Chain A
């Protein structure tokens, strides 16, 4: 690599950097305010009795396959279950200060879903009604969404040999569109699941905390967690959090862990962490080959032009020299006769040959010195 090529590369990198910077800046400033008037559900853990009616309703309204154990078998509550492709919601039992509590798990329908940000086939959509839905038409089965989800929600049809899909809670979008409540909400006998506008639910949750001192941990899980979620959780008070107001994510950590919720997800949408890096990927893919190819082409053609010019110049020099020699020999022939001219021609040719040889030797020597 010579100096010019090096500089050319450096310039490219500089250009690349300059191109990348505005993209990354745009990604940083990216703030999605969320859909106004979107819906959500507030899950009040203090009301949940662990009857599994929500699971049963979910199974029925979504026409999911019958589970191995019936829904009236409450022993499964003791086993820590996860959602799967065929169980879009599960209720697990947890313990806070030796008292049993139940929490329902389903897709939280993030304001800015990580699954959608990870999917390069654009299978996930955050809808204006608050639901996050999946369309498997373009799904390639990479399961990046399952890795991206901070709540470990999407399930994969591992038993499906042809065209397996990712499956998860849809917020009963088809029912919402018809003006019906989600199946689980309608089935809940305790209103442990309250459906409403997300903004109303936050107000409602605050009022419940305020009106029932000592009942709740003063933290609405999902109001800000993972950038805000449509489904939110109101947790019971523990000995530590009872009577304390506005405990914050740090103060609520123990209680939330006790009911299987992480408070370390931060208030930033998951996608925002990757938009900066992923945002430059199309840029690199689209521009860098053109840029490098162009620069290579430019330097290549410049080299070719130089080579041509040198060749022409060398040819001209040779012609000039031959013409000068002919001229000198003709003048010697006129003044001193043909024999002298022949001797002079021979001497000149020898001298030229000698110079050429000397120059070649010198260049060879110089090349050796270089090495």
Chain B
């Protein structure tokens, strides 16, 4: 196999590889990384393309083996054959018999993987990450906000250090990038990874008066800051969330969806009208938009109270307002 997805047949191989390299060529960035317990390289550059033309090829993915192996107990979650070999040994670009004709692309991205009766059910990158979104602290936002699967979505993983030159990218795509350069670039990508600092809840609006619809009930006072702070507290030490919430305002986009991440996003009423829009009957009305967001998130996070049908928990009846 030309490109090295997982150059491990044990620590021995790595050591022998290091011995083979000229002493001066051993890159600095690789040494800076914390070593893994398994002996696998900490940063591995996965190369999507393999054709000589290298046209239209995706950017490589730099896989941080260290943080992934620390999260799981059993290597067979990914190495489902039980042998810590490279994914691309069996899952080739075009599919092969030993890979059951599951291409490399599918092995990395497939969802809804059918359970296997003979041995562990394999996971792809995407299917495993989708399962992570079902964790209680994630499920609230992620049950109401589903990021569009566009170029930005791909770019979260398919990204490399900016110091990787166009020529190196071309070499990587055509499989001619020297191994030492590849390891160096992978390590540099991991080292350069910067996590966004989320917005501080204190800077956000505290209590918001939602009253444009109040009719039967009085205005609703939504404790905006308390909700944001609670969500942030749950994921403050979560590496996964930190890695994927790339913008300081990423968390805002769960409720303030369909607009770019911003500290001052548009309000719900700027898109959701009080009356149904005949041209877009699928767009919820303002009343439904509020309820779908609130209840959708509470459902996802398994917030049992207040009951969905207990209107007075959130809305004070109009009469009590003295109006």
On whether the beta carbons of A201 and B308 are closer than 8 Å, the reply is: no
Chain B interface main SS type? loop
Whether A338 sits at the interface, judged by CB under 8 Å, is: no
* Chain A 61-81: CB-based contact to B (< 8 A → 1; otherwise 0): 000000000000010000000
On whether the beta carbons of B311 and A51 are closer than 8 Å, the reply is: yes
On whether the beta carbons of A47 and B292 are closer than 8 Å, the reply is: yes
Taking CB atoms, residues of chain B closer than 8 Å to A50 are 309
Chain B interface residue count: which class?
Answer: 10 to 19
Bound Cα distance from A74 to B292, whole angstroms? 20
* B216 smallest CB distance to A (angstroms): 9
Count residues of chain A with CB under 8 A from any CB of chain B: 22
On whether the beta carbons of B281 and A51 are closer than 8 Å, the reply is: no
On whether the beta carbons of B308 and A188 are closer than 8 Å, the reply is: no
Of A74, A190, A194, A211, the contact of B281 (CB 8 Å cutoff): A194
Determine, out of B150-158, B225-233, B282-290, the stretch whose residues face the partner at the interface. Answer: B282-290
Whether A189 sits at the interface, judged by CB under 8 Å, is: yes
Whether A353 sits at the interface, judged by CB under 8 Å, is: no
* A311 smallest CB distance to B (angstroms): 86
Taking CB atoms, residues of chain A closer than 8 Å to B240 are none
* Chain A 190-212: CB-based contact to B (< 8 A → 1; otherwise 0): 11001111001100100110010
Closest A residue to B275 using CB positions = A181
Whether B162 sits at the interface, judged by CB under 8 Å, is: no
Bound Cα distance from A197 to B295, whole angstroms? 28
On whether the beta carbons of A204 and B282 are closer than 8 Å, the reply is: yes
Known: A50-B309, A51-B308, A74-B309. A204 touches B291 (CB 8 A): no
Taking CB atoms, residues of chain B closer than 8 Å to A204 are 281-282
Whether B24 sits at the interface, judged by CB under 8 Å, is: no
Closest B residue to A185 using CB positions = B276
On whether the beta carbons of B112 and A243 are closer than 8 Å, the reply is: yes
Within 8 A of B (CB), among A232-259: 243
Q: Which of A74, A196, A213 gathers most chain B CB within 10 Å? A: A196
Bound Cα distance from A48 to B282, whole angstroms? 16
Of B112, B278, B282, B284, the contact of A213 (CB 8 Å cutoff): B112
Whether A96 sits at the interface, judged by CB under 8 Å, is: no
Known: A190-B295, A196-B278, A196-B281. A49 touches B112 (CB 8 A): no
On whether the beta carbons of A194 and B112 are closer than 8 Å, the reply is: no
Of A188, A196, A197, the contact of B288 (CB 8 Å cutoff): A188
On whether the beta carbons of A49 and B295 are closer than 8 Å, the reply is: yes
Known: A188-B288, A190-B288. A195 touches B295 (CB 8 A): no
Within 8 A of A (CB), among B212-234: none
Known: A51-B309, A204-B281. A195 touches B276 (CB 8 A): yes
On whether the beta carbons of B282 and A194 are closer than 8 Å, the reply is: yes
Closest B residue to A214 using CB positions = B112
Pick the 4 closest A-B CB pairs, nearest first.
Answer: A191-B288, A196-B281, A49-B308, A204-B282
9 contacts between A and B (CB under 8 A): A49-B295, A181-B276, A189-B291, A190-B291, A194-B276, A195-B281, A204-B281, A207-B282, A211-B146
Interface set of A (CB-CB < 8 Å, partner B): 47, 49-51, 74, 181, 188-191, 194-197, 200-201, 204, 207-208, 211, 213, 243
